[in-house]
A = this chain, B = another copy of it.
Amino acid sequence: MDIRFKVWLEKGGEVVVGNGKVGLLKMIADLGSIQKAADNLGMSYRHAWGMIQKIEKRSGIKFVETQVGGREGGGAQLTPPGQEFLKQYFSFREGLNESIEKKFKAKFKK
């Protein structure tokens, strides 16, 4: 048998981020564009934008800033607090899979 798990953050009982939203933020940070990030995740721009609005509203943190116009038709990047949030989140997530897996294998002999 295999162990599976899922983690997410809540504030005031509302989900702020789980794997999906964190993935979107990371993709925006890497690609510098909400549109490209949405394309890569197989979602519409509208859906991605809605996710960002929810994260920002629920966390009280401004995550994404956009630039309008220019040759590339604008772009997007994470704000410094947004970058810091992701950094801390990944630092927390790093090694968590292995640690849970290890604990499971030590205790569960089926």
Q: Residues of A at under 8 Å CB distance from B?
A: 1-11, 16, 59, 61, 85, 88-89, 91-92, 96, 99-100, 103-104, 106-110
Most B C-beta atoms less than 10 A away, residue of A88, A96, A107: A107
C-alpha spacing A100/B99, complex, angstroms:
10
Contact present for B3 and A6 (CB under 8 Å) = no
Copies in the complex: 2
- CB neighbours of A92 from chain B (8 A): 3, 103-104, 106-108
Residue of B nearest to A59 (CB): B1
Task: Identify the 7 closest CB pairs spanning chains A and B, nearest first.
Answer: A92-B107, A5-B7, A91-B107, A1-B9, A88-B108, A6-B6, A1-B11
A51→B100 CA distance, assembly (Å): 26
